[in-house]
Chains A and B, each alone.
Chain A
Amino acid sequence: MLFAQQSRSVRQRLRSLFASEKQDREMQEELRQHLEQQIQENIARGMAPDEARLSAIHAMGGLEQIEQQCRDARGSSFLEDLLQDLRYGIRQLRRNKGFSVLAILCLTLGIGANAAVFSWLEGILFRPYPMVVHQDRLFAVAERVQGESGADVLSWPDFLDLRRNCTLCEDSFVSKITSSTLNIGDRAEITTGSVVSANYFDAIGVHPALGRGFEPNEDSGNDAHPVVVISYQLWRSRFKGDPQIVGKTQRLNNVPHTIIGVAPEGFYGTFVGWAMQFWVPVSMESTFSSGGYKLEDRGARWVESYVHLKPGVTRAQAQQQISAISSQLQASYPTINRGRSIGLWALWETPFNHAGELLPTLEMMVAVVAFVLLIACANVGNLLLVRSFVRRHEMSLRLAIGASRGRLWKQLLTEGLILSALGTGGGLLFAYWSRHALKLFFPARSGVSMYLPGTIDARVLALSAGVSLLVTVIVGLIPALQLRRLDLSGPLKSESSSVVGAHSGAWIRSGLVIFQVSLSFLLLIGAALLLESLQKIRTADPGFTTTRVVTTGVSLVAAGYSDAQAKIFQDALIDRLRALPGVESVAHARVTPLGFKAFSSTPIAVDGYQPALNELPTVDYNQVSPDYFATLGIALVSGREFLRSDDEKAPPVAIVNQTMVERYWGGQDPVGRRVQVKGRWARVVGVAADSKYYSMREGPKPFLYVPLRQDFDRASDLNLRTTQPLQNILSGVLREVHALDPNLALYEMITLQERVNRATSPQAVAVTLVSMLGGLALLLAAIGLYGVMSYAVAQSTRELGLRMALGAGAATLLRLVISRGLKLTAGGVLLGAVAALALTRLLGNLLYHVSPRDPAVFASALAVMAITAISACLFPALRAARTDPARVLKN
């Protein structure tokens, strides 16, 4: 029987779910009939029709309430309640359009900022390579060198040994960024591509849209397989989408390559930050970089590689096996591999692309957008609270007729859900529109198409849904706090609206405002610290002139020049360029500071310097031509520059920097003394001032220079010191290069200041994003403050009127309201400052020569906050000051 009862009840509930509309209609019909019969009976008793109707309704005691009670008695399902609440909630939102628009806008911004950052994290760090399969199992492979920070890459023979012995790896492949001159028609352009292992396209699960990928034998031989797969964009833009492209020939670095395939649309290669335009097999490596044939050279490290782990294999298990293979390689080839261990890097830490550069910025952004979201939630919560005061009567009544508090909570949560769902919809649109926004922060450069896509996939959607759920709970529960203090006599008591301030429940709203102010103050301080860092780092003196020096390069390697040809070309070019108007001096250098290229490094020995037992003194050095120091504006403290006579036939010479003098010669002028570089003794001919080499943040480090002719490299940069703006001399330089050889291309020409700016672009991204979001947070906090003060003023018009009647002037009331607003602000600022002292240290690497507790930064953030707070309170205060005592008291 119990079962029968239950099953009946279940059936009833099911029916009530599907047929609730019908049941509702039936119930209303039943009640209507009852009412009619009562009316008829009343008329029969001699009442007038109107009176009869009124009396009947009175006897029933409110039709709508009985209906609701019948529904409650019948028992309704969760879904039915939900549908009813949804309908009700949407009606409520449409009734208060201003409120709804403001709340949804706040949530759209808050959730949108989160979704955008999630999509960047996904698209740049976690799943950076569109169309590539199994990125969850994909890791970068590189070497750690004992005693050095950072990572080095593998040699091809070591990579092959790793691939052969790694049984936990499903596959492993090489993808090494390179560039090439591309001659199409009369245009020679520089474009970026990858040197890849033959299994590349199979391993990443990408199949060419036209033609084929590489075949296994194309991995071996010296320049034996001049074949190329081109990108879809290149095919469309440069080859006009030619359907017969496969089999045609294209010169890359002056070597004719057969185009064997076109990559599918939407595939950009495997390099975070840049879109690749072509792929060639590793057998062609020496065509694309200097240094000769490297496939059989275990000492030549150039292989940027990845592995897919087998399904179910953990990173730790794979690392264990790879470490064992690495130990074996160290033991077998001690002179080459000693102290080098091969390791796995997660994709977002990949040491050989832009992922690592953006990681700290994006990490910080996660925290920043979470703050913005919380501020937005507080705003919406506040708006809902105001409304819940208005709805107090309705809520109390529903409690009185027997609705449970749980039922009311459910309704408030449903209203929160509607708001957050609309906000999430808007937020996802916002994220979709801004998914490529990061790219805008990086300056365009020739030959490279930046590619920093946000990706909105299932994981980003799920995370956004999670955020939205959180928002639902927060904005639903804030007004529910108010519900707790609601009792049955609630509607009877009038709200005691005392002085602008302390009426019941005001503490929640004040608390929310203090919370908002503190978070936005924290963001303001963060933005100010980052801004100051960026200014300092960009204007810091790197030890050379940045504004009047331009740097570029000539594609000698790509054009197939030998060392001997390159030397003749370089001398001739320097003579021609020097004669150009506006050019003060010209010099070559193997590496120009603050770029991507690495300096050479050498163990050194110094006469009279006794190294400690375990010390092997090693310094980085650069190969530079005559006039290098004059061109870059690096001061010579002592001695002379290199001369043309310091060539390969002359005795070796060197110039050292000041830090090196301090360390190895005890500060004594070393000119005329000897230093051993790469096993050869060289005479020191000069001392150069310290400068920056790799990055603006590095401290002073020992460094030396040797003449380019005595340690030659064809792939050298060209630097010019000019009196003219860059664009004025560009055509002249190009003309002189083409006068010597029309097949050569000029690499992008930029000032050294531009180089500094690019090297610090992650900081610039951080500053821009944090400033934008900080501004947004400030705006939201101002809205919050404005809302609270406006409501407080509206609630206490009676009191304000009384005060005025008792002689308080408009100025007094103005002061009263503003001082109350400033009190809330002060509370928030205090909390925010405490949080800032604790948290800004986490900015760590993004700060440059700025203390996280810089008083000037705190002071300026305080000023901005105070101005914002006063403007937010001004309108409510003016309204208070305009209170008309006569009218208020009459009411």
Chain B
Amino acid sequence: MSKPSDLVQGTLDMLILKILALEPMNGWAISQRMKQISSDVLGVSDGSLYPALHKLERRGWISSQWKASENNRRAKFYSLTRAGRKQLEKETANWNRVSSAISGIVMLKEA
């Protein structure tokens, strides 16, 4: 059990914010969605999802609420806050800048 690296950690945070930007969800749904969209490539374990959710909540980027879920059971639903939306914009911009720089390098033709 080693700590996820900072890159993965930061990426995980951004993914969670992005997913929640679409609609409020509970933990199980987030983990399913995550597997779906990342096609299991990132290999985010459920073990690291929940600590990350609690951390984001503490930072005030997401908030939580107990609501009835689809199958009519009470579950904890997370939603993006205003601060979270701003954070997501910042991180997305950041991500675009970094990833375009990296892909620029990767795309360089080998002469």
Contact indicator per residue, chain A 26-52, by CB within 8 Å of chain B (1) or not (0): 110111011001100000000000000
Query: Are B76 and A66 in contact (CB-based, < 8 A)?
Result: no
Closest Cβ of chain B to A753, distance in Å, is 79
Q: Is A62's CB under 8 angstroms from B51's CB?
A: no
Q: Which of A5, A9, A69, A75 has the most CB atoms of chain B within a 10 A radius of its CB? A: A69
**Residue-wise interface mask of B (8-44) relative to A, using a CB-CB cutoff of 8 A (1 in contact, 0 not):** 0000000000000000001110010000000000000
Contact among A4, A73, A400, A402 with B58 in the assembled complex (CB-CB below 8 Å)? A73
Contact between B76 and A30 (Cβ–Cβ < 8 Å)? Answer: yes
- B13 CB to closest chain A CB (Å) equals 11
Query: Is residue A363 within 8 Å, beta carbon to beta carbon, of the partner chain?
Result: no
Does B59 contact A5, Cβ atoms closer than 8 Å? yes
Residue contact A61 to B50, C-beta cutoff 8 Å: no
- Which of chain A's residues have a CB closer than 8 A to the CB of B58? 9, 12, 73-75
User: Interface code A66-83, partner B: CB below 8 Å = 1, 0 otherwise?
Assistant: 100110111100000000
Number of interface residues, chain A, beta carbon within 8 A: 30
Please tell me if A60 contacts chain B, counting CB pairs below 8 Å: yes
Complex interface bits, B45-81 against A, C-beta within 8 A gives 1, otherwise 0: 1110011101101111000001000000101100000
Q: Which residue of B lies closest to A75 (CB)?
A: B58
Q: Could you say which of A1, A33, A74 contacts B54, with CB atoms under 8 Å apart?
A: A74
- Report yes or no: A73 in contact with B46, Cβ–Cβ below 8 A: no
| Neighbouring B residues of A616 by C-beta, 8 Å | none
Q: Which of B1, B51, B60 contacts A73 (CB 8 A)?
A: B51
Return A29 CB to nearest CB of chain B, in Å: 8
Majority secondary structure of chain B interface residues (helix, strand, loop or mixed): helix
A224 CB within 8 Å of chain B: no
A74 to B50, CA, bound (A): 10
Q: Determine if A73 and B47 form an interchain contact, defined as CB atoms under 8 angstroms apart.
A: no
Residues of A within 8 A of B109 (CB): none
Please determine whether B54 and A27 come into contact, CB atoms closer than 8 angstroms: yes
Residue from the list B1, B26, B76 in contact with A401, Cβ < 8 A: B1
Q: Is B97 an interface residue (CB 8 A)?
A: no
CA distance A66 to B28 in the complex (A): 15
Query: Which of the residues A5, A29, A61 comes within 8 Å of B60, measured between beta carbons?
Result: A5
Given A9-B59, A26-B76, A73-B58, answer yes or no on A34-B31 (Cβ-Cβ < 8 Å). Answer: yes
CB proximity of B64 to chain A, nearest CB, Å = 9
Q: Please indicate the chain A residues that have their CB under 8 angstroms from the CB of B60 in the complex.
A: 4-5, 8-9, 12
Contact with B along A1-30 (1 / 0, CB 8 A): 100110011001000000000000011011
CB distance from B43 to the nearest CB of A (A): 11
B28 A33 Cβ-Cβ under 8 A: yes
Residue in contact with B50 in the complex, picked from A62, A70, A402, CB distance below 8 Å: A70
Contacts of A61 in B (CB 8 A): 1, 45-47
- Known interface pairs A5-B83, A73-B55. Does A34 touch B28 (Cβ–Cβ under 8 Å)? yes
- CA–CA, A62 to B46, complex, Å? 10
| Interface size range on B against A | 20 to 34
Q: Does A54 touch B at the CB level, under 8 Å?
A: no
Nearest residue (CB) in B for A29 is B76
Contact A69 B31 (CB under 8 A): no
Distance (whole angstroms) from the CB of A31 to the closest CB of chain B: 6
A66 with B59: in contact, given A34-B27, A402-B3 (CB under 8 Å)? no
Which chain A residues lie closer than 8 Å to B57 at the CB level?
12, 74
State how many angstroms separate the Cβ of A794 from the closest Cβ of chain B.
31
The answer to the question of A613 belonging to the interface, with a C-beta cut-off of 8 Å to chain B, is: no
Q: How far is the CA of A72 from the CA of B86 in the complex (A)?
A: 25
Task: Give every chain A residue within 8 A of B47 (Cβ-Cβ).
Answer: 60-62, 65-66, 69
Least CB separation from A16: chain B residue: B58
User: In this assembly, does A59 line the interface, its C-beta being within 8 Å of a C-beta of chain B?
Assistant: yes
Pick the most buried of B31, B50, B83, B86: most chain A CB atoms within 10 A of its CB: B50
* Contact in complex: B1, A400 (CB < 8 Å): yes
Q: Which residues of B contact A29 (CB under 8 A)?
A: 76
CB distance A73 to B52 under 8 Å? yes
B29 CB, nearest partner CB in chain A, Å: 9
CB-CB under 8 A from B76, the residues of chain A are: 26, 29-30
Residues of B within 8 A of A62 (CB): 47
Indicate the member of A9, A12, A31, A66 with the most B CB atoms within 10 Å. Answer: A66
Alpha-carbon separation in the docked complex, A72 to B52 (Å): 11
A72, B54: Cα distance in complex, Å = 9
Question: Which residues of A are found within 8 Å of B28, using beta-carbon distances?
Answer: 33-34, 37-38
**Residue in A12, A30, A74 whose CB lies within 8 Å of B27:** A30
Contacts of B73 in A (CB 8 A): 33
Give every chain A residue within 8 A of B50 (Cβ-Cβ): 27, 30-31, 34, 66, 69-70
In chain A, positions 398-451 with a C-beta closer than 8 Å to chain B are 400-402
Distance between Cα atoms of A171 and B71 in the complex (Å): 86
Cβ contacts under 8 Å, A401 to chain B: 1
A30 to B53: give the CA distance in the assembly, Å: 12
Quote the shortest CB–CB distance from A389 to chain B (angstroms).
23
Q: A561 CA to B3 CA in the complex, in Å?
A: 99
A70 to B58, CA, bound (A): 11
Question: Which residues of chain A come closer than 8 Å to B51, judged between CB atoms?
Answer: 66, 69-70, 72-73
A422 to B76, CA, bound (A): 43
Instruction: Identify A60's interface contact among B46, B66, B83, CB under 8 A.
Output: B46
Nearest Cβ on chain B to A89's Cβ, whole angstroms? 25
CB distance from A53 to the nearest CB of B (A): 15
Which of A37, A400, A401 is the most central at the interface, judged by chain B CB atoms within 10 Å of its CB? A37
Q: Complex Cα distance A5/B27, Å?
A: 23
Q: How far is the CB of A2 from the nearest CB of chain B, in Å?
A: 10
- The reply to whether B54 and A73 form a contact with Cβ atoms under 8 Å apart is yes
Identify the closest chain B residue to A488 (Cβ).
B2
By a CB distance below 8 angstroms, the chain B residues around A12 are 57-58, 60
Q: Give Cα A8 to B66, complex, Å.
A: 19
When chains A and B are docked, how far (Å) is the Cα of A520 from the Cα of B83? 65
A506→B26 CA distance, assembly (Å): 52
Q: Whose C-beta in chain A lies nearest to the C-beta of B86?
A: A1
Identify which of B45, B60, B86 gathers the most chain A CB atoms within 10 Å of its CB. B60
- Cα distance A368–B10 in the bound complex, in angstroms: 60
CA distance A249 to B45 in the complex (A): 97
Given the complex of chains A and B, what is the CA–CA distance between A30 and B30 in angstroms?
13
Bound form: Cα–Cα A72–B73 in Å: 28
Q: Smallest Cβ distance from A508 to chain B, in angstroms?
A: 30
Q: Contact partner of B46 among A1, A5, A59, A70, CB < 8 A?
A: A59
A33-B45 contact in complex given A74-B54, A401-B1, C-beta closer than 8 Å: no
Bound together, the chains give a CA A34 to CA B46 distance in angstroms of: 9
CA distance A8 to B59 in the complex (A): 8
Chain B residues whose CB sits within 8 angstroms of the CB of A34 once the complex forms? 27-28, 31, 46, 50
Chain A hits for B59, CB < 8 A: 5, 9
Q: 12 additional contacts, CB 8 Å, given A34-B50, A60-B45, A69-B51?
A: A1-B86, A26-B66, A27-B54, A30-B50, A30-B75, A33-B28, A34-B27, A34-B31, A66-B51, A74-B54, A74-B55, A401-B1
* For the complex of A and B, 8 pairs with smallest distance between CB atoms: A61-B47, A73-B55, A69-B51, A73-B51, A73-B54, A8-B60, A74-B54, A70-B54
Query: What are 9 A-B contacts with C-beta separation under 8 Å?
Result: A1-B86, A5-B83, A12-B57, A12-B58, A27-B50, A34-B28, A60-B45, A65-B1, A69-B47
Chain A residues with CB under 8 Å of chain B are 1, 4-5, 8-9, 12, 26-27, 29-31, 33-34, 37-38, 59-62, 65-66, 69-70, 72-75, 400-402
